[in-house]
Structure 1
Amino acid sequence: MIDFEAFLRYIKSQDYYTGQIAHIETFPELRARYDDLEKPLRKRLQRWLDNNNIKLWRHQAEAINNIRSGKNTVTVTSTSSGKSLIYNLSVIDSLFEDPEATALYLFPTKALARDQFGILSKLCEEINIKQNRIGVYDGDIEPNEKRLVLANANIILSNPYGLHFYLPWFKQKWRRFCSHLKYIVIDEIHIYRGIFGSNFALLLRRLKRILDTFGAKPIWILSSATIHNPKKFCEKLVGEEFVIVDKDDSPSGVKKVILWDLPYDEFSGKYRSAHQETKNLFISHLKYKKGIQTLVFTLSRKMAELQAIWTRKALPVMKSKIQSYRAGITKSKRREIEQKFKERKVLGISSTNALELGIDIGSLDATISSGFPGTIASFKQQIGRSGRGTDLSLSTFIPMQNPLDLFYIHNPERLFGQIKEEVLITLKNKYILKNHLCCASKEIPLKIDEYLKFGIEDQKLYEEIINELVDDSLLMKRGSQYYWKGVFFPNERYNLNDLSNNSYKVILRTTSSNEILTIEDESFVFRDLHPGAVYLFETEIYTVQELDIQEKLVFIKKSDVDYYTQSLKHTEITPLEVVYNKNIGTMNNIESSYGKVRVEHNYYGYKVLDTYTQEIRSRHPLEDIPVVNFESYALWFNIPFDYQKELELKGYDLGGTIHAIEHAMIAIAPTLAQISRWDLGGVSIDFDPIKQQPMIYIYDAYRGGIGISELLFFNLYDLLNMAYTLITSCTCKAPDGCPGCIMSPKCGNNNDPLNKDGALFLLRKLLSIDPKNVS
């Protein structure tokens, strides 16, 4: 058990420590609360629980009771609170009653499905259920084994990508399984957000449409990390009503969470590297007494590898006890690391977020989150990984040098308070709908009155998409139905991770051959795979040699470089249609709007940045990259003439002021929704030729939009208020700010101009903040 105070003294005695601990949050010990089921489990299952000294916690009993009564149920509790036991007990118990009943388990990754398969196999073995009654069905399974799984299994474990690909064969090959389908289990539902979540929601509706032909009405069993408004989200995701179980009755020991600030050098205007801070703390964890078993979460595969390399070099005696865990290592190696970590033969692991999800690595002493993982739900998953029974556990959050990470360091109440991040998905994006209607027509011919089955509320939109697909020779009408006519397989072409079918092949060029490495969307190619760009794919680093726009090919080669690239662009935005209007501001004199816009990107260059310091090394022009046009949705508001005059009198640059506010709004938006700032774009204009005044636009960075700017429009005051808090929290004195407040790594204008003091002045005006009350 960690002696926390002694460990703190040890950390503070290290040469690298200069007061980085900004806050310590203490979570008290929680005692377990137990309950019995309304109806006992079958004897074999109850005996298994007794033999393993397992008593059901109250939330587990409540969820199982709901499922047994036929209610769609979602369990929203902490890491290691026994969520998988809920669905495994419910499903297996029903197999004793109905040996023909089936269940489909969906996990976000193949690795997680395999891990859960191992747990389920062990359970089935111990209660004498034949192993052929459960099976994994994904791209790694041989055809003959797939046939055996479909012929025999009651429980099939898969993932969304596999389901998307296999659906056209459900009516034939999956007939037995679908005819008796009683349960659908979806784990880690907080993962399903944005484009991926929107695609998944429509995939589930396609699945339900096929199940309707078998008369199957399964019970849905979902589980999630803690998220905002889970009932609303689940019902939108699946299109069914749910009951929520969110009172966590599992035990936990005292947990200490340290927020570790980055030292800031006012003379140089730079923060110390978060990677260096992570390395120092990781080493200290492993050196302390007999070693604190620690899991480090990094934001990239490369950094997971580098942290392990640096730490092994610093602690050569412990070399075999320090490992990296990431995509690209073999399955057998992953299993070996997991097992050795459970047995404490490995003391330190540096990992990507692969271990954030429910893969079983046993209990451990401490975690280090090197960079905010994107959402508070994911952050809580990471810190929830530490803890051994009721022993004290430790987690540390080290921020990257960006506004969101540092905002949480300086405002811990936002990190540890009630979650306010909306989990956003959309069923209205025309481009996503088009893709899924193509796939659905391949599975079962479409009917003109089926729009509600796809979650489409507007029948006109459905008919418009159908007619466009007919005009594009992708559908043909025969009688009252629409059949797939395309010459390609839509389930293979349309990817769940994007909304475009305009793709480029990425070709690895070697001295002896050319090999197709992957496929990327055109918008990604123009932004990140231009000539000279650095491309990271499955742990390997590549540089782009050639972009063939005519043939839609990108040629790359392996490289070992210590820099990365970011494109530079000029963006123009044009309002097309206003959906909502409202006035804000001190005098209610600022008109804000939300509606449809046209966005135009012109990529004119790129910059080269140092991987470790993030400093700009050089800039380069780009030629012959086509202009990117798309329609999306945005919020926008004007800056009144009176405020412009006041800015001028104060000597603040108008362009730099509104540019800084735009950056701050985008940087802080992830506190309101589970998004990254890369999901949004922004434009600030000194003089908008259409509106005839200065304007700020914030838009969804995807064709057709996914609902982000709509949410932000209805929370505009809160967004501006948090942007103000973000800027005031930053300690930098630079007039143009720093990467911790108003500078943005995605700025197409190279962060020029920016005016920090002007932004604070204007935000005070917009928010009616009396400058006398500002410390």
Structure 2
Amino acid sequence: MKYSCPKCKSALEIQKTFNKKYMISCKCGLEDLVEFAKNMDEVYLEFLARYDDGSTPGKRQLKAELKESGIIRDESEIKKMIGNATPDPITKEVLYSKKDYISYYKAVTSPPPEMGSPVEDLGLDDGMTRYLHEKGITQFYRFQEEAIREIIFGQNVVITAPTASGKTEAFAIPVIQKVASDNNKGGILAIFVYPTKALARDQIPKIMEIAKSVGVSADVFDGDTKESERAKILESPPQIIVTNFDVLHYHMMYRTRFASACTTAKFLVVDEAHVYSGIFGSNVHYIIKRLKRICKKIQFVASSATLDNAKEFCESLFGAKMDLIQGSGKKGETDLVMIFPSLRTQRALTIDLLEKLTSKKHKTMVFSNSHLNSELIAMQARKKKIDIKVHRAGLMANYRNFVERSFKEDRLSAISCTPTLELGIDVGNVDGVISSTIPINRLLQRIGRAARKGQRGFAFLALGNDPISQYYKNHPDNYFEDIEQTYIDPKNPFVEEFQVLAMACDRPIAMHEMAEHSEAIRKHVESGRLVLQENRYAPNYPAIKDMQSEYSIRGIGKSIDIFLNEKKVGDRVLPMALEELHESAVYFLAGMRYKVKEFDYPKKQFAKIVSIPRNYPYYTRALTEEWPTIETIYEKRRAFGAEVCFCKLHIQKKVYGYVNIELGQEVTQGQKILLENPLEYDFITKGIVIHAPRPTDEMKKAENAEYTEASGYHATEHIIIEGSNMVTGGVSQDLGGISLGTSGLIFIYDGAIGGNGASKALYDRLEKALERSLHIVKECPCASEAGCPRCTFSYRCGNNNEFLHKKASGEILQRINDGEITDIVEPTEGDRPLV
């Protein structure tokens, strides 16, 4: 409904502020700040009454009230932030717009990279030197020179340097040089691995060009390689093959001709190494171990633009000692602004920034942390006539390729993407980057996309309507200290058991081999999956056939295929598929919305979707129930005084309904609808259990003490997960949570089957997370008993954010931080789980 201005009759703009007030403004200049009311009509009537009796504040008074409430910054503070910098007019308009709270501004400049030796001084092949001169490269950067010397010397190396700084040349030149110098000219000598087929095919022309200069052959072999091309490669293998870990895993396990061709490899080059985190990285750790078994000796080279703990992580990933080489890049100056949307939603802020940039012909990438948000941004941006398309996992490869080409060829103004485009795929010239909240090292990789050609760049970190964003609003310096720690969990029992089986498929395991996996081998022998033959453990193929075909190295859960008009248009992995593809769910695909007409689970495991009208007013979020059981305790300690365990958990999950969320509204609660046939799923994972203290005696004497206490624990669970996001390296998307009634037990677990290392990262840094959680609940100005999206609510809550108690949670967190002693107790069936 439109509300008209009493002064000029134009439509009013009414925005809810982060502290539960309403900012009312008109283009004629009339403005007011009205107290919160659940009914918008009451807000409007209050505004009219204030206008009629002359109590509407003047601009100076309103400005003072907004500053005092922490809704906007004082201009003097913004001028101090800017200092001697000269922001672009677009950035300046954003800084002084008074629509948001400006948390941080800096003009980011990269010092020119340190130069190294001339190309001729490194003893490279004459053909390589000529090629580099033809490309205009007469002198290496210092880090490139160090990498070339170390790799040629035979060292295992990990290279970290910003996006577009010359990392590919730093590892490709020395590896290709060594391949060219190798006396054994037959077979594959180097394997270059990329995390996606798209990135591999983006990089292969450059690799082939460098290789050709010294007479070395290179080709790509992946799922998109045609049969005729495969036959040619297998008949006469190139010296360098470009592929991915999925292909290596499959072909080694089935002992194909391609796997046989790889046994002569002497180099494994892994680009974008930071991608191999969590469950995927745990599988890759074993695939590398398997590759070492079938190759005589192999040298490792890795590179990444974002890894902060690069040496430690890569040594764990490769199971080998690595030398670290760090470099810098050269690019234009970029205006970096961290913005807290005080007077609107994060999505509204993002679209406003996008409109400002694209209206001035600045090509822009918008990064979201979820599929849903990337789709919603594109949908709402198109209503503003912005030329934008979606790029995310789960869309078909040909569509993603089309989006990349359109943007690169300047036929598209903007891309709404998930981290799929954090990788080094060349999408051409980029002027602006808008990002949701992620760790600083990944933000720097994202904004490294901008200003590569020396132009002025734009980088906006759009904080959200959530606990961690409110924390960074008040503590922006902490954001720049919260570096992501990439993690893997090689002891994930599901990964270990399957990969040990895969090792036996690659080549039977000798009895003296793999002592560290003796327990997994024993289980396979007892179950009949492995059999002892001539002192070697060999696979029983009929018994493992289904396991081989169903296992996914990128996430142990099976995938649900999505069909539109009988054609496959995407997929989604379990268990997340149950929450997004249940019957009547609204599913977003490439900027369009569809409704799930049929969901066949667990039998055939597919979903059929149908189009819905453009004006359909809702999207959906699933309602879930979960029950945790502690299977094994791995570690136990105290965080301050509270006992906490890191353990193996059995999670029983049920999707019993969903809520309709009004499109365009960033709300955390909606209209409940129950499913006629609830969906059930159970899985084993890893997680932590905290026994939180009880609230104070005063809270326990409340009229409904049991409700207050249970709601306090539920709110505490939300705050710890959402509020500690960056403490653990941005892993809250990988975590689930359950609070059990009034027991005080709070479970926080890995969303991936078997575990992915996320909850272990939280376990190791729990004190810092608990301190930050207390800050969040104390500093939030909302007065609601339940709290609000910026302190206690969670956008992923399976319980429709019912029920929460902000004050009880504040007291629970205070008592934890004060060191109150608690001990883990077994839950009872009477404790109702809240998720």
Question: TM-score scaled to structure 2, two decimals?
Answer: 0.78
- Alpha-carbon distance change, 390 to 219 in structure 1, aligned in 2, over 3 angstroms: same
Partner SS, residue 622 of structure 1: strand
Query: Which residue of the partner structure matches residue 707 of structure 1?
Result: 757
| Residues 609/509 of structure 1: CA separation in 2 closer, same or farther (3 Å cut) | same
Q: What's the offset of the Cα at 1:244?
A: 1.0
1:467 & 1:520 partners in 2: Cα distance?
Answer: 33
Alignment counterpart, residue 355 of structure 2, candidates 273, 276, 283: 283
> Mean alpha-carbon deviation: is it higher for 86-95 or for 700-709?
700-709
TM-score normalised by structure 1 residue count = 0.84
Q: What residue is the counterpart of 2:224 in the other structure?
A: 140
C-alpha displacement of 1:520: 5.5
- Corresponding position: 1:597 with 2:660: no
CA distance in 2, matches of 1:42, 1:504: 48
Deviates more, 1:429-438 or 1:231-240: 429-438
- Counterpart of 1:478 in structure 2 is 533
Q: Which letter maps to 1:337? A: S
> Residue 496 of structure 1 corresponds to which residue in structure 2?
553
1:294-443 to structure 2, matched below 5 A, reads: 294-299=364-369, 314=384, 327-328=395-396, 330=399, 333-334=402-403, 336-341=405-410, 348-369=414-435, 371-372=436-437, 374-388=438-452, 391-417=455-481, 419=483, 421-443=484-506
1:697 aligned partner: 747
**1:105 corresponds to 2:195:** no
CA distance in 1, matches of 2:266, 2:690: 51
The 3 A distance-change label for structure 1 pair 623 and 254 is same
More displaced, 514-523 or 664-673? 514-523
1:496–1:40: structure 2 CA closer, same or farther, 3 Å change rule?
same
1:444 paired residue number: 507
Structure 1 residue 362 displacement after superposition: 4.1
1:56-86 deviations in whole A, cap 9, x for unaligned? Answer: 1111111222111111100122112211111
Distance change in 2, residues 1:628/1:139 (3 Å) = closer
Query: How far has the Cα of 1:611 moved from its partner?
Result: 4.0
Structure (1 or 2) with the larger CA radius of gyration: 2
Asked if the contact 2:91–2:458 (Cα under 8 Å) also holds between the matched residues in 1, the reply is no
Aligned to 2:53: none
- Work out whether residues 251 and 389 of structure 1, in 8 Å CA contact, stay in contact via their aligned partners in 2: no
Name the CA distance, whole Å, in 2 between partners of 1:734 and 1:147: 67
In 2: Cα distance, 1:349 partner to 1:522 partner: 27
Distance 1:668 1:193, change over 3 A: farther
Classify 1:236/1:623 alpha carbon distance in 2 versus 1 (closer, same or farther; 3 Å). Answer: farther
Is it true that 1:205 corresponds to 2:285 in the alignment?
Answer: no
Provide the C-alpha distance between the structure 2 equivalents of 1:631 and 1:349, rounded to a whole number of angstroms. Answer: 37
Select the residue among 734, 740, 745 that pairs with 2:795. Answer: 745
Judge conservation of contact 2:379–2:591 (CA < 8 Å) in 1: no
**How has the CA–CA distance of structure 1 residues 668 and 703 changed in structure 2, closer, same or farther, with 3 Å as cutoff?**
same
What SS does structure 2 have at the residue aligned with 1:687?
coil
What is the aligned partner in structure 2 of residue 69 from structure 1? Answer: 153
Change (3 A) 1:750 1:142: same
Residues 424, 673 of structure 1: 8 Å contact kept: no
After superposition, the Cα gap between the structure-2 partners of 1:339 and 1:547, relative to the gap in structure 1 and judged at 3 Å, is closer
Of 322, 325, 334, 1:255 maps to 334
Q: Structure 1 250/225 Cα, relative in aligned 2: closer, same or farther at 3 Å? A: closer
Q: Distance in 2 between matches of 1:720 and 1:429?
A: 26
2:69 corresponds to which residue?
A: none
Contact 2:110/2:329, CA 8 A, preserved across alignment: no
RMSD over equivalenced CA pairs, Å? 3.3
Determine the structure 1 residue equivalent to 2:664.
Answer: 612
SS in 2 for 1:204: helix
What is the CA–CA distance in structure 1 between the aligned matches of 2:375 and 2:758, rounded to whole Å?
Answer: 34
Gaps of 5+ in 2: 1-84, 821-835
Amino acid at match of 1:733: A
* 8 Å CA contact retained: 2:623, 2:655: yes
Instruction: Mark the CA change 1:437 to 1:611 in structure 2 (over 3 Å): closer, same or farther.
Output: farther
1:407–1:206 CA distance, 2 compared to 1 (3 A) = farther
Contact 2:255 2:505 in 1 (8 A): no
Q: Distance in 2 between matches of 1:301 and 1:650?
A: 42
Q: Deviations over 1:219-258 (max 9, x none)?
A: 1110112323222211111111111113x34334443211
Tell whether 2:807 aligns with 1:757. yes
Read off the aligned partner of 1:156 and give its amino acid letter. Answer: I
State the number of aligned residues: 717
SS of 1:4 mapped into structure 2: coil
| Residues in 1 aligned to 2:467 and 2:311: alpha-carbon distance in whole angstroms | 31
Q: Distance in 1 between matches of 2:204 and 2:317?
A: 25
Q: Deviations over 1:423-457 (max 9, x none)?
A: 121111222223323333333233444335xxxx3
1:45 aligns with 2:125: no
Is the 8 Å Cα contact of residues 105 and 157 (structure 1) preserved in structure 2? Answer: yes
Amino acid at match of 1:357: L
The structure-2 alpha-carbon separation of the partners of 1:300 and 1:375, relative to structure 1 and needing over 3 Å to count, comes to same
The alpha-carbon deviation at position 386 of structure 1 amounts to 1.3
Aligned to 2:716: 661
How much does 1:718 deviate? 0.9
User: Which AA in structure 1 matches 2:432?
Assistant: A
Q: Where does residue 574 of structure 1 map in the other structure?
A: 629
Q: Which residue of structure 2 aligns with residue 238 of structure 1?
A: 318
The letter of the residue matching 1:599 is I
SS in 2 for 1:746: coil
User: What does residue 625 of structure 1 align with?
Assistant: 678
Pick which of 62-71 and 17-26 moved more: 17-26
Mark the CA change 1:174 to 1:656 in structure 2 (over 3 Å): closer, same or farther.
closer
Q: Is the 8 A contact 1:195 1:497 kept in 2?
A: yes
Q: Give the distance between the partners of 1:604 and 1:505, measured in 2 at CA.
A: 19
State whether residues 62 and 245 of structure 1, in contact with CA within 8 Å, keep that contact through their aligned partners in structure 2. Answer: yes
2: CA distance, partners of 1:730 / 1:314: 33
Residue 32, structure 1, aligned to residue 113, structure 2? yes
Offset of 1:112 from its aligned partner? 0.6
Query: Unmatched 5+ residue regions in structure 1?
Result: 265-271, 689-693, 771-775
Residue 298 of structure 1: CA displacement? 4.0
Superposition deviation, residue 187 in structure 1: 0.8
Moved more, 157-166 or 724-733: 724-733
Q: Decide whether the 8 Å contact of 1:572 with 1:600 is kept in 2.
A: yes
1:456-535 equivalences in 2 (<5 Å): 457=516, 459=518, 461-470=519-528, 474-480=529-535, 481-486=537-542, 488=545, 490-500=547-557, 503=558, 506=561, 508=563, 510=565, 514=566, 523-535=575-587
- Higher alpha-carbon deviation: 749-758 or 192-201: 749-758
Q: Percent identity?
A: 26
Task: Report what 1:157 is aligned to.
Answer: 242
Aligned AA (1:82): G
Q: Is the 8 A contact 2:597 2:610 kept in 1?
A: no
